[in-house]
Chains A and B, each alone.
Chain A
Amino acid sequence: MNWKNYQNELVVLFAFLVMFSGYIYKNNTIADEATTAIETQKTLSDMKEVIALKKLWTDKKTSQRVKQLKSIVSVSKVKWSNKRKKIKASYRGLSARELNSLVTKILNLPVEITLLNIQDISKSYSVEFQCKW
């Protein structure tokens, strides 16, 4: 077979193959880009989540804020134990109002509550509270 006789077809075929390669290249790039975009979005949302969670649960001001639990009621009603990043607090004879403000304060602190025990003893409340951060 003499290829020179089909020179025109070969030239067109070559040009077509170049175009086809371009098309495949473009499609692959778009597909890769879509995959990369999904991965990138996931990484971005992961990072934002990590940063937000770390900021919330490892806040350096938490220690200061937890100390406020000691002074929220009169000192005579509180037994306080603070070891590193753990506290054990025992409250006795709290009124309903004092209980409410204590619980509200606890709920707003970014700490891990390990124990919260509220007991109603003749209309005055006792609270056992343990947490860490």
Chain B
Amino acid sequence: MNFMGKDRELILVYSSMDSVRDMRDINVMVTPQFYTLKKEALPVKYAYQAKRVAPAIFDGLLEDSSEYEYMVFRDGEEDEWTLIAYNLNTIRVFLLSKGFVIDKISKLFFAQQVVEMFDRPVAIGDSEALVSLEGSVVVVPSIALSEDEKPSKIFDSSFAPKRGVGIKNASANSIISTKQSVILSMIFIAFAIMFFVEGARYGSSSQAELKIAELYEAYPSLESSYTRDSIIKKYKTIDKTERRKRDIIKKISIMIFDGVSLASLNIDLNGFKANIVCKDAKVSKRVKALAKKDGFKSLQIANSNDILIEGSL
């Protein structure tokens, strides 16, 4: 299995070539017919700096420089750079016209990248050859070559340099360009990180949970909700009933004012009953009103002003 594409078949692409058939995974190398070459001494240290100034160097040499891309590499000597301008779309169109399947092409190389390999002419078609002249790979008519310079070198995979250009046009059918996809993806990922961080922050323990943990430590028996519910049920019932009893006593004591006396008061587990003696009908009426206000049932005892107040707990 070949993951790196290094051992793929290398095909030399030139303008007069025949159409190809039976496409396998390949690499291609193009002749100077498909690129423009310049050699310049540039006061830069890195390739990306040289690449940045490449459009300026080719200014005026190319038809529409905006469609061109550039490959740069050092030319052996200090400050000497080889710059190659190529139109990937033109190359792609040519390859398609010759029956190449773009997706099967892993890398695109330039003959200039391996200038030393063309020390002997390499035939391209019947009438032309590729040869290195003064450090540049050029296409020459075979007829111009002397007898001892006739093409003798066979082009094969050993011509493949280390670096190549990806030729597959991933965004050919895309609605969005690679640049747009990178920007959008970065925005989405930034939001994703924000959401995850925010989510993780919400997941941390709250003050109430810490307080509960403290209470559990102090009262381990209350850790079970069943125990808590059972205790609450038991004591709430007691609390409610006992508060009611005390409330009744307080309310009845309020009814004992001038002209009123308590004959009896009985409170047990089921309810209460109070017998209140009133000196006249007016007082009796007032006591009844108070009882009604407090929600107690009141009865006037026959032939007297006395009031019987009763109720449940």
- Residue of B185, B192, B222 near A11 (CB, 8 A) is B185
Contact between chains at B196 and A26 (CB < 8 Å): yes
Known A50-B222, A114-B268; contact A12-B199, beta-carbon cutoff 8 A: no
A43 contacts across to B, CB distance below 8 A: 212, 225, 228
Contact between chains at A37 and B269 (CB < 8 Å): no
Contact between chains at B193 and A116 (CB < 8 Å): no
Interface residues in A13-48 by Cβ distance below 8 A to B read 14-16, 18-19, 21-23, 25-26, 28-30, 32-33, 36-37, 40-41, 43-44, 46-48
Interface residues in B238-276 by Cβ distance below 8 A to A read 238-239, 241-242, 245-246, 249-250, 253, 261-269
A32 contacts across to B, CB distance below 8 A: 203
Interface residues in B196-244 by Cβ distance below 8 A to A read 196, 198-200, 202-203, 206, 208-209, 211-212, 215, 219, 222, 225, 228-229, 231-232, 235-236, 238-239, 241-242
Tell me if B146 is interfacial: C-beta within 8 Å of chain A: no
The number of residue pairs between A and B whose CB atoms lie closer than 8 Å in the complex comes to 167
Give the one of A23, A25, A37, A47 with max B CB within 10 A. Answer: A47
Tell me if A72 is interfacial: C-beta within 8 Å of chain B: no
Question: Contact mask A38-71 → B, CB, 8 Å, 1/0?
Answer: 0011011011111101101100000000000000
- Residue of B168, B189, B235 near A15 (CB, 8 A) is B189
Tell me if B103 is interfacial: C-beta within 8 Å of chain A: yes
Known A8-B170, A9-B175, A47-B222; contact A120-B262, beta-carbon cutoff 8 A: yes
Stretch at the interface among B19-27, B52-60, B176-184, B279-287: B176-184
Tell me if B4 is interfacial: C-beta within 8 Å of chain A: no
Known A44-B208, A50-B231; contact A2-B103, beta-carbon cutoff 8 A: yes
A111 contacts across to B, CB distance below 8 A: 242
B232 contacts across to A, CB distance below 8 A: 46, 49-50, 53
Known A12-B184, A107-B249; contact A6-B212, beta-carbon cutoff 8 A: no
Tell me the complex Cα distance, A5–B178, Å. Answer: 12
When C-beta atoms are compared, the residue in chain B nearest to A5 turns out to be B173
CB distance from B47 to the nearest CB of A (A): 26
- Residue of B168, B175, B202 near A26 (CB, 8 A) is B202
B238 contacts across to A, CB distance below 8 A: 57, 112
Tell me if A74 is interfacial: C-beta within 8 Å of chain B: no
Question: Contact mask B95-127 → A, CB, 8 Å, 1/0?
Answer: 000000001000000000000000000000000
Tell me the complex Cα distance, A21–B195, Å. Answer: 9
Give the one of A46, A50, A103 with max B CB within 10 A. Answer: A50
Contact between chains at B173 and A40 (CB < 8 Å): no
Tell me if B62 is interfacial: C-beta within 8 Å of chain A: no
In the complex, 20 of the A-B residue pairs with CB atoms within 8 angstroms, ordered by the A residue number, are A5-B170, A5-B172, A8-B171, A8-B174, A12-B181, A15-B185, A15-B192, A19-B189, A19-B195, A22-B193, A22-B195, A25-B196, A29-B200, A32-B203, A53-B236, A103-B253, A110-B242, A113-B242, A116-B267, A117-B267
* Shortest 9 CB-CB contacts between residues of A and residues of B: A22-B195, A53-B235, A15-B185, A8-B181, A15-B188, A26-B199, A22-B192, A7-B170, A29-B199
